[in-house]
Amino acid sequence: MKKIFESKALPVFIFLLSTSVGIITWKLGTDPVFSITIAIIVELVIVAHSILHRVTKLESLMGYTMDIPVVASMLPKLSGILRDDNRWVKELLNFKFDKFSLEIEYIGNKKLPLTTGEFMEFAQIFFKNLRNTDVIKACSLFGGGDYWGKEYGKEYAKLNIEACKRGVSIVRVFVPRNPENHLQLKKIYTEQSKYLKVKIANIDSIKQIDRYAIRDFLVLNEELAIEFIFSADYNEIESINIIVSKEEVKNYCKKMDKLLSVSSDFLL
């Protein structure tokens, strides 16, 4: 019945059913006016149930929305803004909502692009909400260039340490560019191996498996993937994509499995 209420063919269904009921009661010898009345009553009952179904569905959606603390706290303020006579207040609101609607569209497509600053804001929430049963598997290509030496890289490392102390499991596979790069990264290997599992993979081995795996990314269980897009010289992060599409996350998990299969543990 739920599928019927949500179907575009509902009006046709109502018409056919009410007409059938009217014809059957008329054929049974009842008064034509009574038959028409019964048919109308059947139609009204179905329409009423359809409206009730849609209202219940809307209430469920609103209930879910109100469960999001930010939304719940925002509604009273929004109400005040809409009552404000200053047209520029509303213009500012429109300006912000235009950006917000674009981000909602991205999330609807299961991929949200972020700047480095936006990602660090997200990372605070991300690591804070990790459970001690969660497992993060990450790939760091060429050691992320100068990433770990920058302020946001140091802050990200700190978030990793705090998560590991809470019992979150993190495995990071470093893929050095060449033997010289490998030697340069040893200090980072040593530092990070104090709180997470560090593995090393040879770049030529990865290319033989899947050349598309050559990028910085991480996967959380099979729920989420994050890819880091670096500049051509690998000195700056250009953008970061948060991915929640089940199919894409699954693909990244497969890439990670391949990466782990050709990596070895870092030994002090």
The band of 41, judged by pLDDT with boundaries at 50, 70 and 90, is low
| Residue 98 confidence (pLDDT) above 90 | no
Q: What is the mean pLDDT of residues 76-100?
A: 67
Would you say the pTM of this structure is higher than 0.75? no
Predicted pLDDT of residue 45: 56
What string of DSSP letters covers 29-57? T--HHHHHHHHHHHHHHHHHHHHHHHHHH
More confident: 23 or 159:
159
Residues 6+ apart with CB under 8 A from 225: 217, 218, 219, 243, 248, 249, 252, 253
d(CA 100, CA 93): 10
Predicted pLDDT of residue 165: 94
What string of DSSP letters covers 147-206? GGGSHHHHHHHHHHHHHHHTT-EEEEEEE-SSHHHHHHHHHHHHHHTTTSEEEEE-HHHH
Longest distance between any two alpha carbons in the chain, whole Å = 97
Distance of CA 13 to the CA centre of its chain: 37
| Residue 138 confidence (pLDDT) above 70 | yes
Joined together, the tokens standing for residue 249 give 């996350």
The band of 54, judged by pLDDT with boundaries at 50, 70 and 90, is low
d(CA 230, CA 58): 42
| Residue 72 confidence (pLDDT) above 80 | no
Among 106-110, 121-125, 155-159, 183-187, the range scoring the smallest mean pLDDT is 106-110
Predicted pLDDT of residue 257: 92
Helix (H) or strand (E) holding 242: strand 237-243
pLDDT digit string, tens, across residues 157-202: 999 999 999 999 999 999 988 888 888 899 999 999 999 999 999 8
Residue type, 139: C
